[in-house]
Structure 1
Amino acid sequence: MAFSDELNVVNKAFSGLGIDEKSLISILGKWDTNQLKSFRLRTPHFFGEDDRSFEKLVQNQINLLKFDFLRFKTAMVLWTMHPWERDARLINDALLDGPKSNNVIIEIACTRSSDELLGARRAYHSLFERSIEEDVASHVTTDERKLFVALVSAYRYEGPKVNEEVAKSEAKILYSAVKNADKKNPLLDDDVVTILSTRSKSHIKSLFKYYVDLSGSSIDVDLDINVSLKDTIQCLCTPPTYFCKVMETAMAKEVDENTREGLTRVIVTRADIDMKLIKEEYRNKYTITLSEKIEDVANGNYKDFLLTLIAREENK
């Protein structure tokens, strides 16, 4: 392998999303002092010039690499957990992370079935000797609190029956709340919270068809600045769209570790649920297959494990 190719391998490994351990050991194990220095000088985004005349690895890269070696292990541990425990721990971690992980709370509350969410709540009791509801109420201090408590407390009807007249009426309520968002945050509107946390997903999907008739545009467009409300509606109505967004953001360069973990979380939790739909949506949205994207950005055992998981449905 030419030195330029070796530089690409090491550069990719240092960039995150998995490390090809065998290649990295082989290359770094044989590089001499000059080759190592050449790598440092050619990657100023990893190494900064110290005032004492040496190339210093930036602290952020040290942190990233520590996480990178753990990423494969994290994926394996999450995969082997009971889904109830996995969701309970993911919610607890999200609450400890603060507002930057609000989407994880929404994701679990809105994309799980009623029984799955109830199971996560039971597991949370057992693991942390508190309820999800009380921890959400305690940790979330922003306008999202009322909605989040209601969402994690939900036990929705899951049948197909929809009262179209009620859906039309509630579309007007939501449209009015969104239209007047500059005066009052829709997240603080009791009617909006009740609709989103108690109605069946079939009902809410029907409601948003009527919303488009009133607004002339989808609520996704109208809610561009209200991220939590937009995520809630996507998770309830079009989960594959939401999950694709999470993964694409996680695979972008220069994202924090918290965001990067979204790729592992989505693939591990959806591999046996709706991965086929997610892969179809991903290809339609980004004109590349999810497998190709993972091949491009990930490395080593982590990459192989993710590719194995997203292919499970094909092998059944």
Structure 2
Amino acid sequence: MATLKVPSTVPPPSEDCEQLQKAFAGWGTNEALIIQILAHRNGAQRKKIQETYYEAYGEDLLKDLDSELSSDFQRAVMLWTLEPAERDAYLVNEATKKLTASNWVLMEIACSRSSDHLFCVRKTYHAKYKKSIEEDVAHHTSGDFRRLLVPLVSAFRYEGDEVNMSLAKSEAKIFNQKINDKAYNDDELIRILTTRSKAQLNATLNQYNDQFGKAITKDLKADPKDEYLKLLRSAIKCLTIPEKYYEKVLRLAINKLGTDEWALTRVIITRAEVDLKRIAEEYLRRNSVPLDKAIAGDTSGDYERMLLALMGHDDA
């Protein structure tokens, strides 16, 4: 359920590259032209544009975008232009750096991507940063966060719909037992969460609900200030109902005193070709305000136009 609108006939990459060169030429940059091209091309087309640009001009398109643009608009365009696995590798690397560290971004990428995509992210990371994701995540996290995040980023889950109901029943009991014992970092609990398919996890959580009369996320709210519990709850949400997880990230980003542009950019850019339509529907249901309206009210200029274009606004 993507929102990205790609024209039915797309010009050849060489033509797009010529137009981008024009956008960079002379005094001032033609931001509208950059949006018109890049915000209406899918991942494969953007990759081809990057390759053709280098062949034609001997320049790296990303470097040119970096020097021509600025601020939140620059970050949005740069992240969008990257091929999805490369983008996620970049975001993971950024999330393991001291000044931009974020357990949330690591969890989000590990939990909301398909197994094949996450495998590509790990390979890309390896090639680009000469280290493994597991190595960097382990190095930059500690304690319970490390115990949860390292197996999450190294997961390769089964992607099918088959579900073992007796397993779901028994693992719902294990979850309940560990939560009652306040053993939130228990190996068994983490093993189930980091190895089971998303369909299997959904079945287990439904069983939990049926057997114990409430959602597991409610039972994990024992200490609302506990950051590890917050991350654990969000991982469960992100694995099983990603649109609800992302709706909350957007709501918090927009309703903050001063917008959290990094979170806003990340969600729109990484979900535009995946499930942004579903996230927008969830946002409307939860907030009674359309997501595009909320974004327009909270952002401005080229940054606003870029985000709205990725939400499928033809006039952007």
TM superposition score category, shorter chain reference: 0.7 to 0.9
Corresponding residue for residue 239 of structure 1: 242
In the alignment, the residues of structure 1 paired with residue 240 and residue 115 of structure 2 have an alpha-carbon distance, to the nearest angstrom, of 15
How much has 1:126 moved relative to structure 2? Answer: 1.1
Give the Cα separation in 1 of the matches to 2:197 and 2:256: 37
For 1:77 and 1:298, locate their aligned partners in 2 and report how far apart those are by CA, in whole Å.
Answer: 18
1:253 deviates by 3.2
Secondary structure of 2:144 counterpart: coil
Which letter maps to 2:205? Answer: F
Please, which of 201, 207, 212 is the counterpart of residue 198 of structure 2? 201
> How many Å separate the matches in 2 of 1:304 and 1:99?
26
Deviation at 1:69, TM superposition (A): 5.0
Is the contact made by 1:136 and 1:148 (CA closer than 8 Å) also made in structure 2?
Answer: yes
Output one character per residue of 1:93-145: Cα deviation in whole Å (capped at 9) or x when no partner: 11114796211111100110011000100111011100000111111013111
Residue correspondence of structure 1 range 169-208 to structure 2 within 5 A:
169-181=170-182, 184=183, 186-187=184-185, 189-208=186-205
SS in 2 for 1:130: coil
1:90 alignment partner in structure 2? 91
Name the counterpart of 1:264.
Answer: 265
Is the alpha carbon distance of 1:112 and 1:190 closer, same or farther for their aligned partners in structure 2, counting shifts above 3 Å? Answer: same
- Alignment counterpart, residue 214 of structure 1, candidates 195, 211, 216: 211
For 1:40-59, what aligned pairs fall within 5 Å after superposition? none
RCO greater where, 1 or 2, for CA within 8 Å and sep 6 or more? 2
1:297-312 to structure 2, matched below 5 A, reads: 297-311=298-312
**Aligned residue for 1:9?**
none
**Cα distance, 1:159–1:201 mapped onto 2, change above 3 Å:** same
- Report 1:6-45 matches (<5 A): none
Instruction: Look up the SS of the partner of 1:251 in the other structure.
Output: helix
> What amino acid sits opposite 1:249 in the alignment?
L
Q: CA deviation at 1:215?
A: 2.7
Aligned with 1:159: secondary structure? coil
Question: 2:108 & 2:250 partners in 1: Cα distance?
Answer: 13
Contact 1:161 1:202 in 2 (8 A): yes
Runs of 4+ more than 2 Å apart:
97-100, 252-255
1:201 and 1:237 in contact (8 A); partners too: yes
Distance of 2:121 and 2:171 partners within structure 1 = 29
1:210-232 superposed Cα distances (whole Å, 9 cap, x missing partner): 11123321122222331110111
Give the equivalent residue in structure 2 for 1:228.
231
The 8 Å contact of residues 94 and 100 in structure 2, kept in 1 or not, is answered as no
Query: What is the one-letter code of the residue matched to 1:296?
Result: G
For 1:234, give the aligned amino acid: K
Distance 1:99 1:80, change over 3 A: closer
Mapped to 1, the partners of 2:99 and 2:193 lie a distance apart of 22
SS of the aligned residue for 1:143 comes to: helix
Amino acid across the alignment from 1:229: L
Sequence identity percentage: 42
Measured against aligned partners, the alpha-carbon deviations of 1:163-191 in whole angstroms (never above 9, x if no partner) come to 0000110001111112221xx3x12x111
Find the aligned partners of 2:207 and 2:100 in 1 and give their Cα distance.
31
Q: CA 1:90 to 1:204, structure 2 compared with 1: closer, same or farther past 3 Å? A: same
Residue type of the alignment partner of 2:81: T
Q: Which has the larger radius of gyration?
A: 1
Task: Give the TM-score normalised by structure 2.
Answer: 0.73
1:80 aligns with 2:81: yes
Structure 1 residue 253 and structure 2 residue 256: aligned? yes
User: What CA distance in whole angstroms lies between the structure 2 residues aligned with 1:97 and 1:72?
Assistant: 24
Deviations 1:251-273 (A, max 9, x none): 12336x8x430100000000010
Q: Distance in 1 between matches of 2:101 and 2:179?
A: 23
Aligned 8 A contact 2:72 2:261 in 1: no
**Contact 1:114/1:155 (8 A) holds in 2:** yes
Q: Which runs of 5+ in 1 are unaligned?
A: 1-67
Structure 2 alignment gaps of length 5 or more? 1-68
User: Offset of 1:201 from its aligned partner?
Assistant: 0.2
Supply the AA of the counterpart residue of 1:83.
P
How far is the alpha carbon of 1:277 from its aligned partner? 0.6
Q: TM-score, normalised by structure 1?
A: 0.73
